[in-house]
Amino acid sequence: MRSLLPSLALLVAASSAFAAEAKYELVPDFIKPAEGRKTIGNGHGEIAVDSAGLIYVSVQEKDAGLQVYDQTGKFVKALKLPNSLHGFVIRKTTEGEFIFAAVLNEQRLIKCTLDGTVVMEIKADDFPAAQGKTKDGKNALKLTNCDVAANGDIYIVDGYGKSWIFQFDKAGKFKQVFGGPTQKVAEKAFANTHKIFVDNRYAPARLLCLDRGNNRMFHLDLDGTNPQMIADKGLRNPSSASFHGELMCVAEIAGRVSVWNKEGKMVAELGANDTKGQTNTPGVKPEAWRTGIVTSPHGITFDGKGNILETEWNQFGRVLRWDVK
């Protein structure tokens, strides 16, 4: 990956306004693509880290699979999974550690072992007909993300459709649906609720909703009730999030990565890009990438040490990493 800003002084990514509370340092040119590739491939998905520290990146290209890298950014392997894992998480359950993924182009959820073996799926026909079908009987779902609660319940959001949030039990049996165009939070219906996550920083746990169409973040109780606003001003279209300790990092597709504390205060701002035409687009070419400056953050994760990895909506594929100081 080409670096246009060689100065090591620019590798400190936390802005001075938040430096007293959270500090991160960029790890430049972190990802090393597979042999024979200049970049990792078309990115429109998510990134996650398993308990062993391996890094998983979804790539939207034929036969690309779910790419796996080690902690140094070296390519390890690609799992033979669908190429439209728009949103996925890696979670430990009572049965072991699994990948739960929303397959956007196929409108289904899959549960896989870490070697890519599918052990369960929730098919398009398992969703309630009222939300899952158009009036002429066609599939209306556009599933973008999922997460799993401590009791095994699975939450799936129709983020590119009508922003319905579906709740299934751990066996894949439908329980309820909420959100969508009929439920309002602060007088606004859900809109392009891009991704949702179970936020275990609280007791009881809450459901984080990244309501990108309304440029806001809020919590719900796990039954879909009791909305609690986190932020609805000053955001850059929040698209994904991850948790570590009491912190939450957020990928904002209009050009920023932010870090928030449990009280809903932003404590760090990373990689902010204010250049017109370089954010919320997949078309920024590698020669225009700038060291430590994001383009269109789409997926994000903390690793086990609290370091931040972010993957971008970019036709060439781009991953940035900031290590906690």
pLDDT tens digit sequence for 190-224: 999 999 999 999 999 999 999 999 999 999 999 99
Tokens in use for 107?
Answer: 């409108």
Of 15-24, 28-37, 309-318, highest mean pLDDT:
309-318
Q: How many percent of the chain have pLDDT more than 90?
A: 87
> How large is the C-alpha radius of gyration of the chain?
19
Task: Compute how many other C-beta atoms are within 10 angstroms of the C-beta atom of residue 293.
Answer: 21
Domain coordinates in residue numbering, the chain: 1-30+243-325, 41-233
What tens digit of pLDDT does each residue of 90-133 get?
A: 999 999 999 999 999 999 999 999 999 999 999 999 999 888 88
The pLDDT, as a whole number, for residue 1 is 40
Q: Indicate the pLDDT class of residue 246, thresholds 50, 70 and 90.
A: very high
Q: Mean per-residue pLDDT for 272-294?
A: 97
Nearest to 21 by CA among 301, 269, 200, 292: 269
Which is more confidently placed, 15 or 242?
Answer: 242
Report pLDDT for 7: 37
Residues 6+ apart with CB under 8 A from 109: 100, 101, 102, 103, 121, 122, 143, 146, 154, 156, 168, 172
Residue 309 dihedral angles phi and psi, to the nearest 5°? -120, 135
d(CA 68, CA 47): 10
Taking the C-alpha atoms of residue 64 and residue 86, their distance in angstroms, rounded to an integer, is 14
pLDDT at 21: 73
* pLDDT(10) > 80: no
| Topology given in CATH for the domain delimited by 41-233 | Neuraminidase (2.120.10)
Beta-ladder partners of 68: 56, 77
For Cα atoms 287, 290, 293, give the angle at the middle one, nearest 5 degrees.
Answer: 140
